[in-house]
Structure 1
Amino acid sequence: MRSDRFAERVMVVTGAAQGIGREVAVRAATEGARLALIDRSDHVHKVAEGIEAAGGTTTAILGDLENWDGAQRAIAHAEQHFGRIDVLVNNVGGAIWMRPFEYFDERQIEAEIRRSLFPTLWCCRAVLPSMIKSGRGVIVNVSSIATRGINRAPYSAAKGAVNALTIALAMENAERGIRVNAIAPGGTVAPQRVILRNNDDQTEDDRRWMEEVVQQTTQSSLMKRYGTLEEQANAILFLASEEASYVTGTILPVGGGDTG
């Protein structure tokens, strides 16, 4: 790993206020990236301040990426601030509820799809025109090995769509100098979330269904453990870098042997 592999490159990281997104941003900054951090939580400003205090260059952008206008405005803001976008890391997403599919209602199904597909879909669409114009660019989407998992069928469907989007965009844009890849994280240990994915009271059934997910995720991993934020960020930053210059249209599982 080179300490300067993102020197002077402009990288947009969505969902940068916490978790994998924050880890990617902090790590990329140490390798020279100029960062636009997008999140709908005010906490993204604290992440940006920490990066700047360590000598990095960044701007924090508040935006709701679940809708077209929010994504268009956020990506335009990043491009106006830095003059271009070299790398887009689409990290927004995550299962909101864990339960068998027959227990999901219409509102919950729509919320899962809106959270874990639309931010990636909208941001890819927002960034492509400028990348096509410049003749180069890299997009790394964050999918999930939960495309083969239990108790989160709507989330699994959303991430399956992210995989399909990744491959389709790679095929359309490879000859334009744009690489599009994704990682599919397995279970990942992370600090307690700054903002909860839902505020519903947890029932005994909810806790049992969540435990079933944990058990299935651990057992499906050949290593029989959850990964770390650093292990996920390593894979994302590899795909984002010129070290992966001949890699596109690839879904890279990062699940300890669970390929999803």
Structure 2
Amino acid sequence: MSDTDKDEPAGGQPAQHQPVQPGREHEMTPRPDYAPRFPGSGRLAGEVALITGGDSGIGRATAVSFAREGANVAIVYLEESEDAAETRAAVEAEGGRCLCVRGDVRDPAFCRDAVARTVEAYGRLDVLVNNAAEQHVADEIEDITPEQLEGTFRTNLFGYVYMIQAALPRMGSGARIVNNGSVTAVRGSPHLIDYSATKGAIMALTRSLAKPLAARGIRVNGVAPGPIWTPLIPASFPAEHVATFGTKTPMGRAGQPNEVASCFLFLACADSSYITGQFLHPNGGDAIGS
């Protein structure tokens, strides 16, 4: 990983597949680029962030970016202990502290425990980043089983709601919530129907919460990435699809996690103090009118 601000070459990735979701970053070739690209300026100094799915991909890049800006972080992860340990090391290398909390965001009791452990460790909670997700390819809606439908919604939507419910009593005026959505919330996806539906719901959730929470001094925003090179990609698609992933964007390539983490950082710090109920769209050039 490097701190240089350079354009990535156009094109896809080597064909590869992982059999288990949400995927393992240490098994990917090439490894995603999560390193922050610019020096920190203390924009989150002394603050605490809780990031779900923080062991890898966009969550890891966000955790390291926050640490560079002075935050201590807690990351929630499902089972990828090796990836979580690497994230913790990267956060600590930036001078931050990192609490790793293993568990399933589909369980509201776990979400309450994760928040409680974060506050116990750091004494406060300023930023919640909802990022954990799963996705499963189905070419026809008839192919979506009840188990898949329920699982995708429980992780991608219920987990966000449970974590927000757990976090709000611990968050005061000035706190921020940033939800990870997707370009599929706006343009849909014929192969990720249930996933796209959850992302549309996340967009509606974000906008619905923004107005009432503004009265409490809490801002709620979201990021809707396009194709980003994360472990979820080889864990979701066949190898031949992975080889061309992202090449249909106007930029001709998939994005890197650190190109999305900058959006989360912007929405998590005072740079965005007059923004709530909005989404940023790091998607490689897709025109989005929402």
TM-score grouping bracket, smaller chain normalisation: 0.7 to 0.9
Q: Please state how far the C-alpha of 1:237 moved relative to its aligned partner.
A: 0.8
1:139 lines up with 2:177 in the alignment: yes
Q: Which amino acid is 2:151 matched to?
A: A
State the match for 2:285 in structure 1.
257
Q: Which residue of 2 aligns with 1:225?
A: 253
Pick from 65, 80, 87 the counterpart of residue 120 of structure 2. 80
Q: Is 1:189 matched with 2:219?
A: no
- For 1:163, the equivalent position in structure 2 comes to 203
Question: Per residue, is there more helix in 1 or in 2?
Answer: 1
Question: Is 1:178 the equivalent of 2:218?
Answer: yes
> Residue 153 of structure 2 corresponds to which residue in structure 1?
113
Give the structure 2 partner of residue 29 of structure 1: 67
Percent identity at matched positions?
36
Q: 1:3: Cα distance to partner?
A: 2.1
Q: 1:211 aligns with which of 221, 241, 258?
A: 241
Does structure 1 residue 90 correspond to structure 2 residue 130?
Answer: yes
Deviation at 1:141, TM superposition (A): 0.4
Partner of 2:144: 104
AA aligned to 2:196 is S
Which is bigger in relative contact order (C-alpha 8 A, separation at least 6)?
Answer: 2
Structure with greater strand percent: 1
CA deviation map 1:42-92 (0-9, x unaligned): 232342134224432221111211111111111111112111100111110
CA distance, structure 1, for counterparts of residue 235 and residue 161 of structure 2:
20
CA distance in 2, matches of 1:167, 1:188: 24
Do the aligned residues in 1 keep the contact of 2:138 with 2:144 (CA within 8 Å)?
A: no
RMSD of aligned residue pairs (Cα, Å)? 2.5
AA in 1 matched with 2:225: P
| TM superposition score normalised by structure 2 | 0.77
Name the amino acid aligned to 2:175.
G
Residue of structure 2 equivalent to 1:129: 169
> Do the aligned partners of residues 125 and 238 (structure 1) sit closer, same or farther apart at CA in structure 2, a change above 3 Å counting?
same
One-letter amino acid of the structure 2 residue matched with residue 182 of structure 1: G
1:245 and 2:273 equivalent? yes
**1:257 Cα offset (Å):** 2.7
Gaps of 5+ in 1: 199-205
Write the distance in 2 (CA, Å) between the matches of 1:234 and 1:55: 18
The code of the aligned residue for 2:254 comes to: Y
Q: TM-score, normalised by structure 1?
A: 0.86
How far off its partner does 1:97 sit? 2.9
Q: After superposition, what is the alpha-carbon deviation per residue over 1:84-120, rounded to whole angstroms, capped at 9, x for unaligned?
A: 1001111101313343322111111111112211221
Distance in 2 between residues matched to 1:251 and 1:58, nearest whole Å: 27
1:225 CA drift (Å): 2.6
Asked if the contact 1:100–1:152 (Cα under 8 Å) also holds between the matched residues in 2, the reply is no
What amino acid is aligned across from residue 207 of structure 2 in structure 1? I
Unmatched 5+ residue regions in structure 2? 1-37
Which residue number in structure 2 is paired with residue 202 of structure 1? none
Between 1:7-16 and 1:221-230, the stretch displaced more is 221-230
Once the two structures are TM-superposed, the CA of residue 197 in structure 1 deviates from its matched residue by 5.0
